[in-house]
Amino acid sequence: MTEAAIRTNGLTKYFGDLAAVNGVDLEVNAGEIFGFLGPNGAGKSTTIRLLLDQLRPTSGHGQVLGLDIRERSLQIRQQIGYLPGDLSLYPKLTGRQTIDFFARLRGGVDMAYVEELAARLDADLTRKVGEYSSGNRQKIGLIQAFMHKPALLILDEPNSGLDPLVQQTFQEMLREVRTDGRTVFLSSHTLSEVERVADRVGIIRHGRLVVVERVAELKRKAIRRLDFEYSEPVPEGLFAGVKGVRAADIHGVFAEVSYEGSVNAVLQAAMTHEVVNLHSRDADLEEIFLAYYRDTEDGDDPKGDTGRPAPSTSKDSSHVQ
């Protein structure tokens, strides 16, 4: 397949005066796992619902699997699996009735595969949806999205409510989809949820796609944080001049260090005193693209909120309409 699984040109959606999605040019290759990252309210779900024809764009165009999102939505929906963020199901149906209902709307699916998915996710299909934990509800949603082996999976915050063990299984399932040559479009508000599986990520903020980058590259640029606790108060300048350190905040026995790149130099500096406890924190999305702006624009306007899409790896896709 040469065509992109998802392609948008200047996709824009206004709610009143608010641009929830603003001129998004997105290109997701067939056969990749694409992470769609952004803080809550950045426009991830709105973008997805535009692709599904649940919302109508104010301007711009989009194609999914080579089909126009406005004109050919029915054909698109035949070929995709979708898990909404904030999933709601019919509370009076059991898990199995729910799956059956959606399967019949698709004209039938391979029920043996449904059973296999349910077993892998350890999903309970017997009780009513209203009695489920949010985790089990999410599993029903995932089975429903995967069960017809769609060419494209669009998953909006799929990890919510899943315990770590199930998340691992879920990530295996995503890799298998990729091995099959199918495509996954995965939205999340945390990098850690997608960095293990995604090939590339796009970051959306205030409705604008600010960067599309390979995950490895993004992680290299990401700022991470270590919090140290010492047995005795340490000098203020402990991390001054250490390679990669962006900031160090020291209060008595506590030190909070932000750094990028290799952790070695930070640890070497830290261990010149007796460390009692060590805690690492996830890279914050906000910090990631702040770092991105610093690196690509030579410290020019670190706020990064100029509305300019960053010079990203996403090629300016030629219009195909």
Partner 1 sequence: MSSELLTHELRHRRNGTVVLGLTLAGYAFFAVAISGSLRQTVDNLTKNMPQGLKAFVGSNVPGGYIVGETFTLIAPIALVAYAVIAGSSAVAGEERDRTMSMLCAQPVTRTRILSAKASALTLSLLAVTALFWAGMALADLAYGSQLTARGLAAGVTHLLFLGLAFAAIALAIGAATGRPEIASSAAGGIAVAAYLSNAMLPLAGMGRWAELSPWYYALSSDPLRNGLDLAHLGVLTGLGALAVVVAVITFRRRDLKG
Q: Enumerate binding residues for partner 1 (CB under 8 A).
A: 49, 52-56, 74, 77-78, 80, 82, 84, 86-90, 92, 101-102, 104-107, 141, 144
Shortest spacing between CB 49 and partner 1, in angstroms: 7
Which pair of tokens denotes residue 313? Answer: 């790896």
Contacts of 290 (CB under 8 A, 6+ apart): 223, 302, 304
Identity of the residue, 84 or 207, whose beta carbon is nearer to partner 1 in the bound complex:
84
Identity of the residue, 85 or 261, whose beta carbon is nearer to partner 1 in the bound complex:
85
Contact 24, 12 (CB under 8 A): yes
Shortest spacing between CB 42 and partner 1, in angstroms: 18
CB-count exposure of residue 7 (10 Å: 0-12, 13-18, 19+)? buried
Identity of the residue, 140 or 255, whose beta carbon is nearer to partner 1 in the bound complex:
140
Shortest spacing between CB 70 and partner 1, in angstroms: 12
Identity of the residue, 23 or 85, whose beta carbon is nearer to partner 1 in the bound complex:
85
Identity of the residue, 35 or 84, whose beta carbon is nearer to partner 1 in the bound complex:
84
Which pair of tokens denotes residue 142? Answer: 């995932």
N-terminal to C-terminal alpha carbon distance within the chain? 19
Shortest spacing between CB 134 and partner 1, in angstroms: 13
**What is the three-class DSSP state of 10?**
strand
Identity of the residue, 92 or 243, whose beta carbon is nearer to partner 1 in the bound complex:
92
Contact 264, 307 (CB under 8 A): no
Identity of the residue, 88 or 126, whose beta carbon is nearer to partner 1 in the bound complex:
88
Contacts of 189 (CB under 8 A, 6+ apart): 37, 38, 39, 40, 42, 44, 157, 285
Of 147, 148, 127, nearest to 137 (Cα)? 127
DSSP secondary structure code for residue 318 in this structure: P
Shortest spacing between CB 64 and partner 1, in angstroms: 12
Shortest spacing between CB 152 and partner 1, in angstroms: 12
Of 137, 111, 110, nearest to 124 (Cα)? 137
Shortest spacing between CB 176 and partner 1, in angstroms: 22
Which pair of tokens denotes residue 95? Answer: 């898990």
